[in-house]
Amino acid sequence: MAVSSSNTDAVLITVDQSGTGDYRTIQEAIDAVASNNSELIYISIKPGTYREKIVVPADKPFITLSGTEGFNTTITWNDGGDIFDSPTMSVMASDFVARFLTIRNDFGTRGKGIALRVSADRAAFYGCRITSYQDTLLDDFGRHYYYNCYIEGATDFICGNAASFFQSCQLHSLAKNLGTITAQHRNSPLENTGFTFLGCKITGLDNATVLGRPWGSYSRVIYAHTYMSSAISPDGWRDWDDPSNQRTVYYGEYKCYGPGADRSKRVGWSRELSHDESAPILNMTMIGGRSWLRPAPTRFRKHVK
């Protein structure tokens, strides 16, 4: 990552539906950022519900979108069908940050309706609420970090082939039966991708949800130090009706707790990790986070239209 200004100095753009900010819509603020931008851009979004379909294009890196609280700053749309066309918000640019936003797709239970698509490297989300029903978070590709986020859905609601680290997040299943939290899409043992959940919390209806199933035959998902409520069914994992996946997936649990963490009835092809096996994954090595995660700016320069 290289930017022309320091990591504590950013250009400030404000979005306010009342008209007192620089722009009334979030997309207008994003559109105002220069192509091939090399400055940190901090787009501060005033509380409200923004009915917009947002795209952060690939040629506009180093953008932060920030609300004040996840509950009072909402981006929402209502679209379904194709997973790449339906997202309420699509992040295509590297070095992106979102803070304290609700990102929602109101398509409902009719099928795939993505709230957030992340198709870029080095993206981080702090204190965000990401909600839909099926394929809520399309964690498509790149290295991503989610901290203290609330992610809600029923079917494959965290899916894709990114290398992602979820820390202190709540995963809430809406499923009444046969729900699935993850559908990780790793297709080869050579790919350094997978989802790691550290210190998270899983909630939902009793015995209605499993931890994951393989969208790709080498799917890799790890849960560590995570509270699993009775929402997790005793078998824990599914092979997507293809027993050959059982030989190639890497599904592990390490020191999880709660009624859903009992491994006595888990499928035999999932793993209870040892301390040594868990050590490499209980940090940000896979996402290289120490080299690109940055603190929120502390100094701001006014945006000039």
Cβ neighbors of 305 (< 8 A, separation 6 or more) are 22, 32
Element (H, E) at 98: strand 96-99
CA 271 – CA 268 distance, rounded (Å): 8
Report the amino acid identity of residue 145. Answer: Y
CA 266 – CA 268 distance, rounded (Å): 6
Please pick, among 135, 139, 140, 239, the residue that the annotation labels catalytic. Answer: 135
Percent helix, strand, coil in the chain (nearest 5)? 10, 40, 50
For residue 128, what are its two tokens? 């965000």
156 carries an active-site annotation: yes
For residue 169, what are its two tokens? 């997040």
Angstrom CA distances, 44 to 1, 243, 290, stand at: 22, 49, 25
Please pick, among 95, 121, 139, 156, the residue that the annotation labels catalytic. Answer: 156
Q: Which of 100, 95, 83 is nearest to 145 (CA)?
A: 95
235 carries an active-site annotation: no
**Which residues are 50's β-sheet partners?**
75
Q: Which of 2, 15, 80, 11 is nearest to 40 (CA)?
A: 11
SS3 call for 276: helix
Residues belonging to the active site? 135, 156
